[in-house]
């Protein structure tokens, strides 16, 4: 069967629909190539000595795994020389990474979570990479302030999943497509296009060990799901929690569901666990493009105006009707 390659998909988006420029196409191809390299390292695991701790911590005080560092370096090295970027920002770097002076600069900003699901690396469970593309400001500045744009300004977003197969799920604002890596030829081949998340679901994902810290709207919503047939919802719900956002979101892209990482009362100053700029925003863009919804309970994720590169946010996303219901529980009155 003659499948459409990622290159052809992007060329057609550029040529037929004028949706992306050649420069953005190059950027996305380079990101895909970096994900392929990360996938190879992930696949070798202990044989390549890539498992375990790096012995360092990132800006959020989380200890880094070797693969967090390797994936970050892979993305930086792949993207710094192509001339398409003004700067990059990552979960693993305190400040934006400027393009070295020896290379030309371009019109885009790239943000990434190089390795999502770090706690799953050493136990051989699916992990991934998440990325987001913004336009650099006209004035050519590429400092931290340049990145602080609401998610609805993203030009493209995607994630790779390093699982039983390696996948790349991408949007350029014209629906969501999924590519599978053919490990023999090294090509990304289109295996699903115009992905649609079912509006209804009976599956939810949340780290229930935090239940005692949840705020009342989240507690009410989850209690109703757990009450099943006998409760207010009059139906049973099933729970799944991979603890890699990429894998949990990909399940929702495949068969629907709701994913929640709410804020909780442990640290009132900390509005959630996940990071807005390189986790919540790209996933919210993808989920909305697939007909789903994404909120922090009070506001559409994509409308949040960031104030810090590494800011955290509560996340509730997936099947539209469930996200609307949990949002309604957050409204006063």
Contact footprint for ligand AHG (CB under 6 A):
62, 91, 113, 116-119, 207, 243-245, 261, 273
Binding-site partner at residue 92 among ligand AHG, Mn ion, none, CB < 5 to 8 Å by type: none
Instruction: Give least dist CB 154 to ligand AHG, A.
Output: 19
Binding-site partner at residue 264 among Mn ion, ligand AHG, none, CB < 5 to 8 Å by type: none
Q: Under rule CB under 5 A, which residues in 58-97 are in contact with Mn ion?
A: 91
Instruction: Give least dist CB 161 to Mn ion, A.
Output: 12
Residue 134, strand partner residues: 109
- Tell whether the torsion through CA atoms of 148, 151, 157 and 161 is positive or negative: positive
Instruction: Give least dist CB 280 to ligand AHG, A.
Output: 11
Nearer to Mn ion, 80 or 91 (CB): 91
Dist CA 108 CA 110 (whole Å):
7
Binding-site partner at residue 244 among ligand AHG, Mn ion, none, CB < 5 to 8 Å by type: ligand AHG
| Nearest alpha carbon to residue 210 among 243, 235, 234, 185 | 243
Instruction: Give least dist CB 263 to Mn ion, A.
Output: 17
Nearer to ligand AHG, 52 or 186 (CB): 52
Dist CA 26 CA 106 (whole Å):
11
Binding-site partner at residue 207 among ligand AHG, Mn ion, none, CB < 5 to 8 Å by type: ligand AHG
Nearer to ligand AHG, 7 or 210 (CB): 210
Residue 156 in contact with residue 171, Cβ under 8 Å?
A: yes
**Quick one: which of 36, 71, 89, 116 contacts Mn ion (CB under 5 A)?**
116
Residue 113 touching Mn ion (CB under 5 A): yes
Instruction: Give least dist CB 45 to Mn ion, A.
Output: 18
Nearer to Mn ion, 97 or 237 (CB): 97
Nearer to Mn ion, 6 or 88 (CB): 88
Residue 86 buriedness (CB in 10 A; 0-12 / 13-18 / 19+) = buried
Nearer to ligand AHG, 147 or 261 (CB): 261
Longest dimension (CA), the chain: 66
Q: What is residue 256's DSSP assignment?
A: -
Q: Which residue is nearest to Mn ion (CB)?
A: 116
| Nearest alpha carbon to residue 72 among 106, 40, 138, 116 | 116
Question: Regarding beta strands 108-116 and 127-135, do their DSSP bridges make them parallel or antiparallel, or are they unpaired?
Answer: antiparallel
Dist CA 248 CA 253 (whole Å):
9
Dist CA 31 CA 52 (whole Å):
25
Binding-site partner at residue 301 among ligand AHG, Mn ion, none, CB < 5 to 8 Å by type: none
Dist CA 235 CA 135 (whole Å):
45
Binding site for Mn ion (CB under 5 A): 91, 113, 115-116
């Amino acid at each position: 069967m003659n499948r459409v390659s990622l290159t052809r998909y992007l060329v057609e988006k550029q040529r037929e629909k004028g949706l992306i420029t050649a420069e953005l196409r190059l950027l996305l191809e380079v990101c895909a190539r970096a994900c392929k390299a990360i996938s190879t390292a992930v696949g070798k695991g202990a044989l390549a000595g890539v498992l375990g701790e790096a012995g360092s911590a990132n800006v959020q005080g989380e200890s880094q795994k070797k693969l967090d560092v390797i994936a970050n370096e892979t993305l930086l090295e792949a993207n710094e020389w192509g001339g398409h970027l003004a700067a990059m920002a990552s979960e693993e770097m305190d400040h934006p990474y400027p393009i070295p002076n020896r290379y030309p600069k371009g019109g885009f900003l790239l943000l990434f979570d190089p390795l999502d699901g770090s706690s799953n690396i050493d136990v051989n469970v699916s992990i991934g990479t998440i990325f987001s593309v913004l336009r650099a400001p006209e004035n050519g500045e590429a400092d931290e302030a340049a990145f602080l744009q609401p998610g609805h300004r993203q030009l493209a977003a995607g994630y790779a999943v390093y699982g039983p197969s390696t996948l790349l799920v991408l949007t350029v604002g014209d629906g969501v497509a999924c590519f599978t890596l053919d490990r023999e030829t090294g090509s990304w081949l289109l295996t699903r296009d115009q992905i649609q998340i079912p509006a209804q679901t009976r599956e939810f994902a949340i780290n229930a060990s935090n239940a005692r810290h949840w705020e009342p709207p989240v507690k009410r919503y989850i209690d109703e799901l757990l009450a099943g047939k006998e409760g207010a919802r009059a139906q049973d719900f099933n729970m799944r929690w991979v603890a890699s956002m990429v894998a949990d979101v990909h399940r929702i892209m495949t068969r629907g569901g709701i994913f929640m990482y709410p804020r909780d009362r442990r640290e009132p100053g900390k509005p959630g666990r996940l990071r807005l700029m390189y986790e919540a925003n790209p996933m919210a863009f993808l989920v909305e493009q697939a007909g789903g919804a994404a909120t922090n309970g009070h506001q559409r994720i994509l409308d949040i105006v960031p104030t810090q590169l590494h800011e955290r946010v509560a996340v509730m996303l997936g099947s539209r009707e469930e996200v609307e219901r949990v949002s309604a529980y957050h409204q006063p009155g």
